[in-house]
Amino acid sequence: MLYLSQLTLNPRSRQVQAELRDPYEMHRTLAKAFGEGPEGQSAARCLFRVEEGAGGLSLRLLVQSQRPPSWQNLTASPDYLRDAPQVKSFAPALSTGQLLSFRLRANPTVRRDGKRLGLYRPEERLAWLSRKASENGFALLTATEISERPPECQAKGHKAVFSAVQFEGVLRVMDAEAFLSALAGGIGAGKGFGFGLLCLSRVK
């Protein structure tokens, strides 16, 4: 069972503006909805992404978790949210051979000489996505890259810049169990910074 929450953020909120510049702070805010202690910390490893409406006048925050959140425990400024959070549970029904449209905000990276390096060339990014597909029980049928302005965050006192990109396309489920695990756990690095959430829908 997975849980999907939708939070409508107030783009005029100073806290929201600060967290958009540093998504890890947004992750820390969201973690408050999952409680304290080891179980809460584990559940707080949620996946999230912010979707901006036309002209930046609306901001929709999607949060996927493996435990139901308690959004009443969110410690945020009074103007952080525009509406009450919406939460729904879902149990993905996946089968081998199934076709699905997907959207993924990712941080394509590779490890070289013990360091994690971002991938910026389109051919490198698509090759990265193909590798992730084969490792996680699905195959790409189509994939389009939409580049994004990468966020700059403070990580252990150093400025970290990410290789932000959004992929959209169609995939085929090759191993339903492996794909479900990838859906629950996210794809790639930087999940605490708003990357890795795989959004799916039926092929039209």
Q: Which domains, from first to last, does the chain contain?
A: 2-90 (3.30.70.1200), 99-202 (3.30.70.1210)
pLDDT in tens, 150-184: 555 555 555 666 788 999 999 999 999 999 999 99
pLDDT in tens, 96-154: 999 999 999 999 999 888 888 889 899 999 999 999 999 999 999 999 998 666 555 55
Query: Closest Cα partner for 59 from 28, 13, 105?
Result: 13
Question: Is the predicted pLDDT of residue 44 greater than 90, yes or no?
Answer: no
pLDDT in tens, 68-101: 999 999 889 999 999 999 999 999 889 999 999 9
16 contact partners, CB below 8 Å, separation of at least 6: 9, 10, 59, 80
Query: Closest Cα partner for 131 from 146, 111, 101, 147?
Result: 111
**Residue 35: predicted pLDDT:** 80
CA separation (Å) from 171 to 29, 52, 139, 188?
Answer: 33, 25, 6, 17
